[in-house]
Structure 1
Amino acid sequence: MARPLRKCTTDGSAYTRPPEIEAAIDEALALDATTRLARAEILDRKAPGFLPKEALVYLIRDAKRVDDQTTLSKLFTILARRCEEVLAHQVPDTYPNAVDIRADALSELGNLVAEDETGTDGYRLDFFESRFESAFLRLWTTIARKCLRRREREVVAADPDNPVRKPVEGALEVDGEQEPTVLRKEQMVLFNRLAPDDRKLLFLRFGNEVKVESNDPAEVTLAKIYRVEGRTIRNRINAALARLATLETKP
């Protein structure tokens, strides 16, 4: 039986795994080590015995706890390969600082495993065990945000007298309109005056190019993150942009 999670969410309640994840972990734990590793190698989601990423995280933590470095290394390599596929899709080469973001995301995931159950915040992987895609999205978007800020500072340093930022190559299309992936210097200042929810939504959409919705059931989208329809997300984006525009018009 899978051990309970310990880390709490922002509202004070403990993270919980979905029933299907609990079942997948329990099934994996009942297998011998060789069969379990073979199951971990399965990539087809629809294939019998496929292990979701949450279950892989559990098994990785389990191997670390008993100091089984061989199993730990093999399982983490499998998980990293799956994450590389996610990053290749969500952070393509046309994305600013794509190579650094992808490499740093995998490195940070490795650090989380290495530091698991140590220090003052030793249960951060609980989030990955309960909702891996959301947790990994948060991980790489945090890294991307740091890259975006560093890029903004570099642009300002290169041309401090020109506050207008040109859209980077591959400016994303939003409902048929071209939107820059880098805000002007003035907008960046005003951006920080928006409410936290507005900042998060606009950053995910324009800073990290997370789609509003997608026909690909495996792709992480804003509609999935916020658990609402795409139309609702678009309305929220337009409202947040309107609030940003209002700030621009104020003296």
Structure 2
Amino acid sequence: MAEPLRKRKAGGELYRRRGEVEALIDRLGHLPRDELIERMCIASPTHPDFLPSECLLHFVRKSKRDNSSRQFELMYKALIARVERAATVSGAVHFVEGKRAITARAAKIIEAVVFAFEVKLTQDRNGYCDGLDYFEINFASAMKLLRSTARTKIDTEEDRERPLSYNDEEAISAEVEAAAGSFDPFNPRKIDDPVYRSALGVAINELPAEEREVVVLMLKGYPIDSKEPNATTIRSVLGCSEKTVRNRRDRALAKLRRALEDLE
């Protein structure tokens, strides 16, 4: 029987793998190691012996007790290949003269995701990283969070490298306006999802200070402006014009939408 996970939910309850994953881990544990590795290396999800990524991760984590570096290397490569596929942003892969190619931005995201995952895996092999426990519960969902976090950081770094060319009192570009659209990052149907909520927190923290202030005040329920003279508004708190607040809001929403598009 697989060892229980150690990470606990907010209420104190231990994380638990899905029943079918737990049962499959028990069955696979009886296979000869070479046969298990052979199945772990199957890449096609349509193959009858394809294993869920949660199982691959479990056996890679368990292998720290083994002494065969060759076997670990094979399992590790199979797992990282899954991580790289999960880190690949939709639409990033294209073909040039019949050869597979990937955008530079997508390559950066994959590199960042793999690095973040490898850090967790190294910590686990040196002791125990409960941050990997959620990956054994829902690998795809956990990878979405890693990918969203990586994309937010990369986009923020790229934004910092661009010269500030906008004026808060000028009309925002049609591109930003379209990206912001009717996007609501605090949609109650999404905000209850812990993965979405965590990714949203990371994306908000990466916003420029003046845009982050507007978003935080929106989250607290303050209106941009009000006809009531004594009402507390975002405009009055920040001491700027309504147009400035709306421009900062729209730029922030465009960035949040871009950061969270995989989770919509």
Task: Give TM-score scaled by structure 2 length.
Answer: 0.62
Match of 2:131?
Answer: 124
For 1:36, give the aligned amino acid.
L
Structure 2: which 5+ runs fail to align?
A: 94-101, 183-206, 221-252
Conserved 8 A contact 2:42-2:50: yes
Match of 1:106?
Answer: 114
1:154 is displaced (CA, Å) by 2.6
Describe the SS at the equivalent of 2:124. Answer: coil
Could you tell me how far apart the structure 2 residues matched to 1:167 and 1:84 are? Answer: 34
1:195 aligns with 2:202: no
Match of 1:90?
Answer: 90
Describe the SS at the equivalent of 2:14. Answer: coil
For 2:121, give the aligned amino acid.
V
Match of 1:237?
Answer: none
1:202 is displaced (CA, Å) by 8.3
1:188 is displaced (CA, Å) by 4.6
For 2:43, give the aligned amino acid.
L
Could you tell me how far apart the structure 2 residues matched to 1:167 and 1:115 are? Answer: 45
Could you tell me how far apart the structure 2 residues matched to 1:89 and 1:74 are? Answer: 25
Describe the SS at the equivalent of 2:17. Answer: coil
CA pair 85-204 structure 1, distance change in 2 beyond 3 A: farther
1:21 aligns with 2:21: yes
Could you tell me how far apart the structure 1 residues matched to 2:181 and 2:59 are? Answer: 40
Describe the SS at the equivalent of 1:90. Answer: coil
Could you tell me how far apart the structure 1 residues matched to 2:3 and 2:80 are? Answer: 23
Bigger relative CO (Cα 8 Å, ≥ 6 apart):
2
1:137 is displaced (CA, Å) by 1.2
CA pair 19-83 structure 1, distance change in 2 beyond 3 A: same
Describe the SS at the equivalent of 1:140. Answer: helix
1:126 is displaced (CA, Å) by 0.9
Could you tell me how far apart the structure 2 residues matched to 1:131 and 1:189 are? Answer: 33
Structure 1: which 5+ runs fail to align?
A: 176-182, 211-220, 223-251
Instruction: Identify which of 161, 164, 170 aligns with 1:159.
Output: 164
Conserved 8 A contact 1:91-1:98: no
Conserved 8 A contact 1:91-1:102: no
1:133 aligns with 2:140: yes
CA pair 149-83 structure 1, distance change in 2 beyond 3 A: same
CA pair 167-72 structure 1, distance change in 2 beyond 3 A: farther
Could you tell me how far apart the structure 1 residues matched to 2:103 and 2:217 are? Answer: 26
Describe the SS at the equivalent of 2:149. Answer: helix
Conserved 8 A contact 2:112-2:150: yes
Describe the SS at the equivalent of 1:128. Answer: helix
1:125 is displaced (CA, Å) by 1.0
Task: Give TM-score scaled by structure 1 length.
Answer: 0.65
Conserved 8 A contact 1:53-1:79: yes
Instruction: Identify which of 150, 154, 163 aligns with 1:143.
Output: 150
Q: Percent identity?
A: 27
Could you tell me how far apart the structure 2 residues matched to 1:60 and 1:114 are? Answer: 11
Match of 2:196?
Answer: none
Count of aligned pairs between the two proteins: 198
Describe the SS at the equivalent of 2:217. Answer: coil
Deviations 1:163-202 (Å, cap 9, x if unpaired)? 5775879x87989xxxxxxx99864542243439xxxx98
Conserved 8 A contact 1:7-1:14: yes
